[in-house]
Amino acid sequence: MNAKIAVLAGDGVGREIVPEAVKILKAVAQKYHHTFEFVPGDIGGQAIDKVGVPLPQETLALAKQSDAVLLGAVGGPKWEGLEYSLRPERALLGIREALGLYANLRPAKVYANLVDASTLKREVVEGIDVLVVRELTGGIYFGKPKGIEKLPNGEERGVNTEVYTTDEVRRIAKVAFEAARKRRKKVTSVDKANVLESSELWRKVVIDAHKSYPDVELSHIYVDNAAMQLVRNPRQFDVLLCNNMFGDILSDEAAMLTGSIGMLPSASIGAKVGLFEPIHGSAPDIAGKNIANPIATIASAAMMLSYAFQLDKEAEAIEQAIVKTLDLGYRTKDIQSPGARIVGTTEMGDAILRNLN
């Protein structure tokens, strides 16, 4: 296939880890006879330095004209004093909004060799492979009315509104069921249908959407129980389908089960173009030292192949290459363990490249 990929490395370690992912994608293209065109664009602090804004129009246009976007990270101490609307992080909100990214997919997977990096016991985390599918553009973060108002008695009143339409729920449920088909075919829908009407509707629509996916198993769980089960017995979950707020919270909880932020990829799905990025930030404390872990970004590239281009075999090849590299004892500093072979960012990328079949 032919695909145009916008490459927005951004700031800090973004500039070191993104080239490693591109290196792997180029090798995949060659091995599997695809043509990927990589077009770089400016975003975040480096865009501010270059043209004065964190998300230049050219970058937005590039993203919209591409088949997928690979993003590194933005931000850093250099730009922290800027007014909020000009900060590098604004670019993230801007690009998500412009691309209409309504679904965020975050896998939390524990690699066999990194089980001890988790704060939980080995027997709880071994074999975890959970995908949190979070609705990203609706719910309480956007619902109206919202705001803080003064009351006649001098007190104040803060209001947010949890609101979902059938369309919004159907759309995200579909993403979860489709994702489950690429995995162990189990969706657990998270809600609070015992007290919230919006959750009652959520559950009804999810059940209805499920009719088109008879091969996928569907169950429902209240969010408080989901939070508990994630630390008690996380292996029971395959795909967790969540609204915006529940997904925000549970995806961080799921991520922490694995113990290492440098390992975790993410995908954001829109009507047309998807955006793929590691969940971590620009890590200014380690930037420029060739010690950042590129695996989260390389795994994000694998998600791009699977979710944007339906190249599941190629995505699996990258996953396998990561597993093999870890099995061979290669570690960046953040995931080091006794007896392991500590390597830098580029060396880790090279090792994964060598193990790509």
Query: Would you list which residues are annotated within the binding site for substrate?
Result: 96, 106, 134, 224
By CB under 6 A, tell whether 285 contacts ligand NAD.
Answer: yes
Give the whole-angstrom CA distance, residue 246 versus residue 243: 6
Known binding-site positions: 76-89, 96, 106, 134, 224, 248, 252, 281-293
By CB under 6 A, tell whether 63 contacts ligand NAD.
Answer: no
By CB under 6 A, tell whether 83 contacts ligand NAD.
Answer: no
Q: Is 247 exposed, middle or buried (0-12, 13-18, 19+ CB in 10 A)?
A: buried
Residue 196 vs 353, nearer CB to ligand NAD: 353
- Catalytic positions: 141, 192, 224, 248, 252
Q: Which of 3, 6, 8, 13 binds ligand NAD (CB under 6 A)?
A: 13
Residue 136 vs 206, nearer CB to ligand NAD: 136
Site pattern 316..335 for ligand NAD (x: CB under 6 A): ------------------x-
Q: Which of 24, 92, 136, 315 binds ligand NAD (CB under 6 A)?
A: 92
Other Cβ atoms within 10 Å of 151 Cβ, number: 8
Task: HSE, CB side, 13 Å, CA atoms: give it for residue 41.
Answer: 31
Task: At 282, list the tokens.
Answer: 């620009």
Other Cβ atoms within 10 Å of 111 Cβ, number: 20
Residue 209 vs 287, nearer CB to ligand NAD: 287
Q: Which of 293, 306, 325, 355 binds ligand NAD (CB under 6 A)?
A: 293
Task: At 38, list the tokens.
Answer: 């990589």
Please state the closest distance from residue 239 (CB atom) to ligand NAD, in A: 23
By CB under 6 A, tell whether 51 contacts ligand NAD.
Answer: no
Please state the closest distance from residue 212 (CB atom) to ligand NAD, in A: 33
Residue 348 Cα distances to 20, 297, 310, 321, 339, angstroms: 8, 12, 26, 11, 16
By CB under 6 A, tell whether 139 contacts ligand NAD.
Answer: no
Nearest to 288 by CA among 248, 232, 346: 346
> Pairing mode, if any, of strands 68-73 and 2-10?
parallel
- Restricting to residues 202-261, which ones interact with ligand NAD according to CB under 6 A? 261
For residue 265, whether the previous peptide bond is cis, meaning omega lies within 30 degrees of 0, is: no
Q: Which of 6, 70, 74, 311 binds ligand NAD (CB under 6 A)?
A: 74
Residue 280 Cα distances to 6, 15, 75, 172, angstroms: 19, 13, 11, 24
Give the whole-angstrom CA distance, residue 300 versus residue 102: 17
Please state the closest distance from residue 92 (CB atom) to ligand NAD, in A: 6
Please state the closest distance from residue 231 (CB atom) to ligand NAD, in A: 21
Query: Which range in 19-27, 29-37, 273-281, 309-317 contacts ligand NAD by CB under 6 A?
Result: 273-281
Unique residue bearing structure tokens 């880790």 = 348
Rg (CA), the chain: 21
Please state the closest distance from residue 278 (CB atom) to ligand NAD, in A: 6
CB 356 within 8 A of CB 24: yes
By CB under 6 A, tell whether 286 contacts ligand NAD.
Answer: yes
Please state the closest distance from residue 335 (CB atom) to ligand NAD, in A: 8
Cα-Cα-Cα-Cα torsion 173, 176, 177, 181, nearest 10 degrees, comes to 170
- Restricting to residues 17-46, which ones interact with ligand NAD according to CB under 6 A? 17
Q: Which of 189, 282, 325, 355 binds ligand NAD (CB under 6 A)?
A: 282
First-to-last alpha carbon distance for the chain, in angstroms, is 19
Task: Give the residues lining the site for ligand NAD (CB under 6 A).
Answer: 13, 17, 73-76, 89, 92, 261-262, 277, 280-286, 292-293, 296, 334
